[in-house]
Amino acid sequence: MKTILKHTALTAFLLILVGGIFSCKEKDYDNPIEIPFTEYSLVGTSCQWKNLNYDNKVIIINSNKDLEKYVNCMDGDNYPNVDFSKHTLLLISDIAPSTAKVTDIIRLTQSSNRKYDLKIVVEIGLTGNMYPWVHAILAPKISDRANIQLKIKYTD
C-alpha cells in the first residue's frame, strides 16, 4: 500500500512539473503589437558612439552602466539622459555599400513575450565606399533576453 502511494505521489508530482514547464511556453500573439518609440541622438553633444560591431544586430541597453560601454563623451559632456526604469535604448548599426542615412523606422512590433521585429529604411548614396552607420531609439522597457529581428531595407 505504501509503495502504491509513493508511486502515485511521484506520478502526480511529475505531472504537475511537466504541466508547469509547458504552461511557461512563450505565448505568441494573434496580431503583432505595435510598440511606440522615440529617436535618441547624440547630436548637440560632444559624445559619439563606440565599440560597435556594425553587424546588422540590435544592442539592447537597459542601464547607464551598459550605455557607457557604447558612448564616449569629451570635455566633461554627458549623453542625453535615459530613464532606464521605464525605457530601453535600442542601438542599431550596420555597414552600407555607400553613404547611408536612416530615413525611416517603419515599425517596432512585438509578436510574443520576447520576440520583436524592427523594420527600418536606410537611404544610400552613390559613393561606392563602405559606410558604417548607427541609429538609436528609445522604447518602453524590453527584456535583456528579448530577440529582436532586424529587417533593413536599403533604398537609393
37's enclosing H/E stretch is none
Q: Which of 89, 86, 67 is nearest to 78 (CA)?
A: 67
Residue 73: the pLDDT is 94
Residue 29: the pLDDT is 63
Residue 69: the pLDDT is 96
Neighbour-count burial for 107-135, b at 16+ CB within 10 Å, e otherwise: ebbbbeeebbbbebebbbeeeeeebebbb
Residue 31: the pLDDT is 77
Residue 146: the pLDDT is 96
Residue 97: the pLDDT is 77
Residue 16: the pLDDT is 54
Residue 48: the pLDDT is 95
The residues near 141 (Cβ < 8 Å, ≥ 6 apart) are 62, 85, 86, 87, 88
94 beta partners = 133
* Edge-to-edge strand list for the sheet holding 38-40: 38-40, 131-140, 87-96, 57-61
Which one-letter amino acid corresponds to residue 33? I
Residue 106: the pLDDT is 79
Residue pLDDT tens, the chain, 156 long: 555 544 555 454 544 544 544 444 445 667 789 999 999 999 999 999 999 999 989 999 999 999 999 999 998 889 999 999 999 999 999 888 777 777 778 799 999 989 999 999 888 877 667 888 899 999 999 999 999 999 988 887
